[in-house]
Amino acid sequence: MPLLLKAPEFPGPSFIRTMRSFFLSAFVILLSACGGGEPPAATEAPKPSGSLAEVEQRIIANPTDPALFAERAMFHEKADSLRLAENDWKRAIALDSTNATWRIALGDLYFRKVKLADAEQRFQEAIALEPEGTKGRSKLSEVYLLQLRFKEAMTVANDALRLDPQNAELYNLKGWIHRTAGDTALAISSYQTAIERDPKYYDAYVSLGILHAAKNDPLALQYYNSALEVRPRSVEALYNKAMYAQEHGQDSLALQCYAAIKDIEPKYPLAYYNTGYILLEHKRMVPQARAEFHKAIELQPDFTRAYYNRGLTYELQGMLDSAVYDYSTALRLDPGSTDAANGLGRMQAKGRKVKVR
């Protein structure tokens, strides 16, 4: 029978999203061992105004204005021209060495380029320039977290909290430090404090939902619902809610969530795949399940499990040539798929010629 395919946990919209792809992949692997979810949110630099050409004209007219180089750096970062952005941040800092915000921005750029030692140095410099500020400490703590330097990450986060005890973002960061270090109880406590400080803190609700879901605790649904109150069209929260419902015998709720995801993000293949799974595995609605798997394949042509499960619907209804096609495609996409290999074995036993496509 079909196997349930979980979606990977959503990568977060903050400091992880700015990493180079290979570093993101490595960190997602690390986070998956800790339960996934949303990483601590980092405040982004202000967006530049006007156009790049306009900024460059102003630089020509005022070549000693550091703010103009900072503005152009933001344009370059937006265009993913990181070398040019780095040069401009350095120029802004050279013209005004007292500006901690620009050092943080350069540190963020190094973070994005996976130059963590350079990022750490810039954040340390920002802290020295603004001893009473929390942003440099928050960023530095994130660097230590990625390096699995948990004690140092927590020390810096706590230093920042002493300066701003009401900062929900810092408690969310502490939750991530505890969580990555494997202390679920303290992680939950920190996330709960984050939402006490800010009842609309979406990321903390999602993280609490994931941690409680891992314990099969029905409170997970309450936390996902709270996240959806903050962001009603969040595919992430809807998907996590659907998965919890699906894994705990609440198929109707799961199907409602997947239907909502399809309305919000019609090209999200896992919503169709998991709908098909429920229809096939739990309700024996074979043609309807096949239509869902078919849609998932349309959206993701290399979706191995969708090919296998669509093949299973064909097999169940005696459409063996179509089943052979899907099983062989699944095996070509994943030569290690024992399910696809077994499916082809069943087809051979029924007299069908088998050739992996």
The pLDDT tens digits for 318-356 are 999 999 999 999 999 999 999 999 999 999 999 988 876
Q: What is the rounded CA–CA span in Å between residue 8 and residue 210?
A: 12
CB 142 within 8 A of CB 15: yes
Residue 12 has pLDDT above 60, yes or no: no
Q: Does position 33 have pLDDT exceeding 50, yes or no?
A: no
Residue 89 belongs to domain spanning: 1-182
Q: Identify the three-state secondary structure at position 324.
A: helix
Q: Give residue 323's pLDDT.
A: 97
pTM over 0.85: no
Banded pLDDT at 50 (limits 50, 70, 90)? confident
Examine residue 187 and state whether it is found in any structural domain, yes or no. no
Comparing C-alpha atoms, which of 196, 176, 200 is closest to residue 187? 176
Any idea what the CATH number is for the domain that residue 210 is in?
Answer: 1.25.40.10
pLDDT at 357: 58
Q: In a 10 Å sphere around its CB, with 0-12 CB exposed, 13-18 middle and 19+ buried, how is residue 36 labelled?
A: buried
Residue 231 shares a structural domain with residue 298: no
Distance CA 87, CA 100 (A): 17
pLDDT digits (tens, 9 = 90+) for 64-98: 999 999 999 999 999 999 999 999 999 999 999 99
Among 214, 245, 260, identify where a domain stops. Answer: 260
pLDDT above 60: residue 4: no
**CB 269 within 8 Å of CB 282:** no
Q: Is the same domain home to 325 and 252?
A: no
Q: What pLDDT shows up at residue 304?
A: 97
Please check whether residues 250 and 305 belong to one and the same domain.
Answer: no
pLDDT at 225 over 90: yes
Look at 114 and 129; give whichever has higher pLDDT: 129
Whether residues 7 and 153 fall in one domain: yes
Do residues 178 and 145 share a domain?
A: yes
Q: If pLDDT is split at 50, 70 and 90, which confidence band does 1 have?
A: low
